[in-house]
Structure 1
């Protein structure tokens, strides 16, 4: 970013913070993709809360961004699913960071979900709530059933739709770039898109616009009808789609391919995902059966007797290889996260799933237009 762009971004977040800032600042823990533009967002979280730790997502932590954040006086801790999988370990961690305080958890992908009940019951302070950014995380919290605290999700916000569309573009760009690095192209292959949510539907439309034959699989019959209405072939069984696909794009926000499904892949098929391998792919058993070899930068060939396929970026989000940039539209979502944090800090929300109201979203959109629609 140029100096003028930094100044505009800081001014934008300053205006958002001044509008939504709560009267009392809670402590916070922030899980985030620590990409090059993200330090400005981290600083804004620290203005609205007492930021006790930043936990960068492991596959999207840029070294320069980490250095900038740490040089600002913020602690960056190592993040893993295991850290919050066990309630006792999770409680020990949060006690070490914010014992006795009101704590807000800012999440990307449902990391706190497995221990949330234990944290609310055993932590010496109080967990005032969670803000969740992704569809995958939204589902993890919703699947808990009766929640012990409020969870404000921005995953299904209309302000996130521009990001989803542009992430879809970046996924297709990165997938094609990696295939071309081996002398392969998209054309001539049927692409199977697993998951027809906002991101999967964006990917399917972009592939179709490039002249690629696209098949869709989704466990939700409503989404299958939506895909049919938009002109895509739809398979009722995943296995049928895999056997004909030269490219498989996993965008379900959950587990897309289990161990036995990999054996159904067409020889020479490429597999790419839009999130981390631990969320989309069940690779443990596959790694025991197939020999792996790096056949290109960020391309792994899986080979066993009579069968082989290629996995891009080790099964992690393929678009992060090329920056995963969605331009200033990401600042819409970040502003909604700040507004959601402020809503939790003010209190009054019952345990359960929540979203921001349309009035708050309108303020964010109007502010964004003032700064970035130039």
Structure 2
């Protein structure tokens, strides 16, 4: 055995341990894998996926493969790739085009290589794969019968494509389900974002002012967890209803211009670009921490930060770069402005991804059944899929719930019964 073979074997073993640990907390997806192994609903299907290459994603890949799919996987973020998981997946028979820390050129090359499989179904995390299909790999569009997208950012882009009649196949908005928004976006993002900030900086959040940009489900989760750790929380918003909601929940709602002077820690969770701009950076106090938990590395204007800095100290801590301004103030950028929870931490706990990926795999099964009658566009996850995921999760946790009596059913479905 060569040293390279030995290194690969060590990576495979490490990846298998990591995947096995994740699978313990993913009973719903594991049960679906057992069911699909018997039913083989994906037999003969080729799936191209652009997802975070983590242990939790590996359990999803195993479920799809058990159902008969042939899979090619690329990374949706170069900084979140777990190389040992990638190697274990390759050993299991999944084609993986991903490596931690690659350049953006390599990132896009890997997506093209995943598309070389000639997919029937695509799974995306941020819409980069779908975008490339519609701009650079249009020769493959005729064979693609559907896809799934699991991020707010990706769905925004897909809905715009659909509005412009540019989208060529049906896509299920896996992100837009009650279970995903509640469990993944709120609780998963909230916990993992705080985890990433604390790992990267070892800062004490109690007593700090944490500025959360965006009060959607993800922002709400970040704000709740920050407050739970003893922080004073300021929320910035562009949506008046969400701003009012944040205010009524007791958060201090300000503009970013006002919040910039007060914050110790800033977390962007919007899915939009330039949420923290040069004029905000110029006002921040010495030692302010900048983190993104939205999606792409555009929410914090890193180019403006580069322009303001007179010196940059890379890696003052793992995943922490220090930007020194002309007057000596230091701003700390985490994870290069990319997803702090997946770069500086391990992303959502496996128990969270159990529900999200279960909705994903059931949505793929629905697409396969219904694709012949679906027109191009963005589709909500069928309500029965959302309910099934929640029911399976409750059963796996041993949680019981009430059922309606016949009289209650009649009451809810009849307008003739008065008060």
Question: 1:299-342, CA deviations, whole angstroms, 9 ceiling, x for partnerless residues?
Answer: 21111211321112322222233322423231111111111112
2:258 aligned partner: 240
CA displacement 1:228-263 (0-9 Å, x = unmatched) = 11111111x321111211110111122232344322
> Shift of residue 83 of structure 1?
7.8
1:313 matches 2:331: no
Residue number in structure 2 paired with 1:163:
184
Alignment of 1:99-114 (within 5 A): 103-114=120-131
- Counting only pairs closer than 5 Å after superposition, residues 167-206 of structure 1 correspond to structure 2 as 167-180=189-202, 184-206=203-225
Q: CA deviation at 1:135?
A: 1.0
**Deviation at 1:169?**
1.5
Q: Deviations over 1:4-62 (max 9, x none)?
A: 93995774132553698647643210122222233221122223463341112312111
1:295 counterpart SS class? strand
Partner Cα separation in structure 2 for residue 284 and residue 83 of structure 1 = 21
For the 8 Å contact 1:54–1:76, the answer to whether it is kept is yes
State how 1:109-120 maps to structure 2 within 5 Å. 109-118=126-135
Instruction: Give deviations 1:94-132, integer Å, cap 9, x for gaps.
Output: 77322xxx6211001111343343478532742212200
Describe the SS at the equivalent of 1:271: strand
Per the alignment, residue 318 of structure 2 pairs with 297
- Residues 167 and 319, structure 1, Cα contact 8 Å, conserved in 2: yes
Residues 192, 248 of structure 1: 8 Å contact kept: yes
Aligned to 1:335: 358
CA change 1:95–1:358 in 2 (3 A) is: closer
Q: What is the number of residues matched between the two proteins? A: 364
Say whether residues 1:344 and 2:367 are aligned partners: yes
Q: 1:74 aligns with which of 90, 94, 100?
A: 94
Structure 2 Cα separation of the partners of residues 201 and 117 of structure 1:
34
CA 19–72 in structure 1, closer or farther in 2 if over 3 Å, else same: closer
User: What SS does the aligned partner of 2:366 have?
Assistant: helix
**1:214 alignment counterpart:** 233
Looking at structure 1, the residues matched to 211 and 111 of structure 2 have their Cα atoms a distance apart, in angstroms, of: 42
The change in CA–CA distance for 1:278 and 1:333 in structure 2 (over 3 A counts) is same
What is the SS of the residue equivalent to 1:143? Answer: helix
Matched, 1:63 2:83: yes
Could you say what secondary structure the match of 1:117 adopts? Answer: helix
3-state SS of paired residue (1:60): coil
TM-score by length of 1: 0.85
Could you tell me how far apart the structure 2 residues matched to 1:3 and 1:354 are? 29
- Aligned Cα RMSD in Å? 3.1
Note if 1:369 corresponds to 2:387: no
Deviates more, 1:121-130 or 1:152-161: 121-130
**1:168-202 C-alpha deviation (Å, 9 max, x unpaired):** 1121233234433xxx4223332110011111111
In structure 2, C-alpha distance between the alignment counterparts of 1:54 and 1:344, rounded to whole Å:
19
Cα offset, 1:142, TM superposition: 1.5
In the superposition, relative to structure 1, how do residues 142 and 258 fare at CA in structure 2: closer, same or farther (>3 Å)? farther
* TM-score, length of structure 2 as denominator length: 0.77
More moved, 171-180 vs 89-98:
89-98
Q: In structure 2, do the counterparts of structure 1 residues 251 and 275 end up closer, same or farther at CA, with 3 Å as the change threshold?
A: closer
Q: Supply the distance in 1 between the matched residues of 2:61 and 2:112 (Cα, whole angstroms).
A: 24
Q: Which runs of 5+ in 2 are unaligned?
A: 1-19, 400-419
Distance 2:22 2:113 in 1: 37
Contact kept, 8 Å, 1:135 with 1:155, in 2: the verdict is yes
Distance 1:137 1:3 in 2: 25
Which one has the largest radius of gyration? 2
Q: Secondary structure of 2:323's partner?
A: strand
